Amino acid sequence: MQKNLWKMEKEQRRLILRATPILFLLVLPFFCLAFDFFWGNRIPVDRWMNYFSSTSQTSFNKTLGEQEFIKFHLRRLVRGEDRRNLDETGFACDRAVHSIVCVSDKPVRIDTTRNVTVYIPSDQALEEKETVIRPYAKQEDELKVISPVRMLQYINTTVPPACQYEHKVPAVIFSSGSTGNVFHEMNEIIIPLFITTKQFQSRVVLILEDYKPSFMTKYGKVLSKLSAYEVINPAANQSVHCFPGSVVGLKYHDNLALNSSDIPGGYAMPDFRHFLRQAYGLKFTHVSQITKPRLMLLSRTNTRRFLNEEEMISLMKEIGFQVIVIRRSKVVSDLNKFSQLINSCNVLVGAHGAGLTNEIFLPSGAVMIQVELIGTEWASNTYYGDTAHAMGVRYLRYKIEPEESSLVKLYGRNHSVITDQGSVYKNGGYRAARTIYLDQQNVRVNLVRFRETLVEALSIVTDWKGK
């Protein structure tokens, strides 16, 4: 009898041990969700959602219901005291170092007939409150070309304009007012737009202030991946729309960067790169998929030119690269084609400048060679070197010597422009330093030194073939 009891207890323990992992996996998502709600979203929901399949995530969102889904994701855009304000009043603004993002999880009316105005009902305030921001990611730039958006918290005595169009998903208002430079477009519009809206799974309507057809031509595929609805151009639309909630402004993390722990949480550079590959239908995920060493050289025609460019191209071909030279042309402005071309290369070479932003389309494991000019060390590393590391691209820095710079002929070898660049920034400020180091400087690359960098790049991209 005792022996039988012992066997039964042993069998029970065995069943409990088998069931424990399953119970843990079932409880984990609910624990994380509760933690997220009560502790201000300190654990990004996306991080634990990734443990489950996309089907499971879709099922999770369906169980929330449409209104709960909207409120849940709007709340993720604010934390701490701002989260409490949103819960109490239905309106709050996240004011960070760079960006301002204002959120309403109450039904709003958005009037585009003149300047864009968002009407937000308030059942607590004794008087109307108005908030005005320019919906641009880097607020410190104080760009006056960006049209302001008014957000009016109105009380019962105010009658807002009647709705002409009803929407079932929230609105996100942002601006494309400052465009024409790929670095600023990616840094201050596209990446912040991804950070702010990706979590809504295309269930938002984008309202594009300062609408430019050229911006839509260039980034229309990105916007269509973030919203399943037609983009609203306020200047052409001029009507009143009703939404279950709204977001005004875009969240900015850092220079060409995504911080997975920052609001709304969960997104990093690999996520954005995967998104771009889907949006533009890029063929190559990893450099090992490219059969031959293919190098793209970004050729500048005004400042920061390669004075011995033809010799550089000959050297690249001699080492074993197929070389594609990109000069200012229609292919650069047609990002749909240009992204495909860059993605087909395993090495990108260019002098410090906005064109290097296109490294974002390189396949993982590729190499970006930046020719670092005199006076550009901080910007070179911060804008393009750090970005390359974050997205799985190898970064090779070719720092020129003074004798390779045209500034030596202009100022002399012993001038402070050459010997003490920090003093130029300190005494003259950024604009004076920019005029010298970016607008006056060209380079004649030392081919003997540069060969070493090219050979290293070739070895990196061909080593994958044997792995």
Reported as a pLDDT band with limits 50, 70 and 90, residue 333 is confident
pLDDT reported for residue 369: 98
End-to-end alpha carbon distance in the chain? 62
pLDDT reported for residue 463: 83
CA–CA gap between residue 228 and residue 225 (Å, rounded): 7
Q: What stretch of H or E contains 93?
A: strand 91-95
What share of the chain in percent tops pLDDT 70?
84
Comparing C-alpha atoms, which of 276, 249, 274 is closest to residue 263? 249
pLDDT reported for residue 384: 95
pLDDT reported for residue 41: 41
Which one of 279, 303, 329 terminates a domain?
Answer: 279
Least confident of 206-220, 249-263, 324-338, 427-441: 324-338
Reported as a pLDDT band with limits 50, 70 and 90, residue 125 is low
What is the pTM (predicted TM-score) of this model?
A: 0.85
User: What confidence tens digit (pLDDT) does each residue in 63-120 have?
Assistant: 568 889 999 999 999 999 999 999 999 999 999 989 999 999 999 999 998 889 999 9
Q: Same domain for 301 and 212?
A: no
pLDDT reported for residue 191: 97
Q: Same domain for 149 and 179?
A: yes
Q: Same domain for 83 and 141?
A: yes
Burial (CB count <10 Å: 0-12, 13-18, 19+), residue 80: exposed
pLDDT reported for residue 33: 42
Residue 254 pairs with which residues in a beta bridge? 257
Residue 124 pLDDT more than 80? no
pLDDT reported for residue 11: 56
Least confident of 55-59, 116-120, 300-304, 357-361: 55-59
Q: Same domain for 47 and 112?
A: no
Q: Same domain for 321 and 458?
A: yes
Q: Same domain for 419 and 436?
A: yes
Least confident of 35-49, 300-314, 370-384, 442-456: 35-49
The set of residues, in sequence order, having a beta carbon less than 8 Å from that of 103 and lying 6+ positions away, is 74, 75, 77, 78, 86, 91, 92, 93, 94, 245, 246, 247, 248
Mean local confidence (pLDDT), 230-244:
95
- Region of 409 (left: φ > 0; alpha: ψ -120 to 50; beta: rest) is alpha
The set of residues, in sequence order, having a beta carbon less than 8 Å from that of 426 and lying 6+ positions away, is none
Residue 243 pairs with which residues in a beta bridge? 108
Residues 288, 467 contacting (CB under 8 angstroms)? yes
Q: Same domain for 90 and 105?
A: yes
- CATH number for the domain that contains residue 402: 3.40.50
Residue ranges making up the domain that contains 20: 2-66
Q: Same domain for 305 and 449?
A: yes
pLDDT reported for residue 34: 46
User: What confidence tens digit (pLDDT) does each residue in 137-146 have?
Assistant: 988 777 788 9
Q: Same domain for 391 and 242?
A: no
DSSP 8-class letter at 106: S
Q: What stretch of H or E contains 152?
A: strand 149-154
Residue 292 pLDDT more than 90? yes
Q: Same domain for 218 and 297?
A: no
Mean local confidence (pLDDT), 367-386:
95
User: What confidence tens digit (pLDDT) does each residue in 424-451 have?
Assistant: 999 989 899 999 999 999 999 999 999 9
For residue 215, give both structure tokens.
Answer: 């911006």
pLDDT reported for residue 155: 84
**What's the mean pLDDT when you consider all of the chain?**
87
User: What confidence tens digit (pLDDT) does each residue in 1-51 have?
Assistant: 444 544 555 555 555 555 555 555 455 444 444 444 433 443 333 333 333
pLDDT reported for residue 467: 57
Other C-beta atoms within 10 Å of 162: how many? 8
Residue 265 pLDDT more than 90? no
pLDDT reported for residue 410: 95
Residue 7 vs residues 15, 16, 20: alpha-carbon distances, Å: 12, 14, 20
CA–CA gap between residue 188 and residue 173 (Å, rounded): 14
For residue 62, give both structure tokens.
Answer: 């369906």
User: In 377-420, which residue ranges form alpha helices assigned H by DSSP?
Assistant: 377-379, 386-390, 407-411, 416-419
CA–CA gap between residue 216 and residue 212 (Å, rounded): 7
Residue 365 vs residues 104, 286, 368: alpha-carbon distances, Å: 42, 6, 10
Mean local confidence (pLDDT), 230-259:
95
Which one of 263, 279, 295 terminates a domain?
Answer: 279
Residue 362 pLDDT more than 60? yes
Number of domains in the chain: 3
Q: Same domain for 88 and 156?
A: yes
Which one of 279, 311, 338 terminates a domain?
Answer: 279
Cite the beta strand spans of 182-284 per DSSP E.
205-209, 240-243, 246-248
CA–CA gap between residue 295 and residue 347 (Å, rounded): 5
Q: Indicate the residue type of 312.
A: M
Q: Same domain for 36 and 126?
A: no
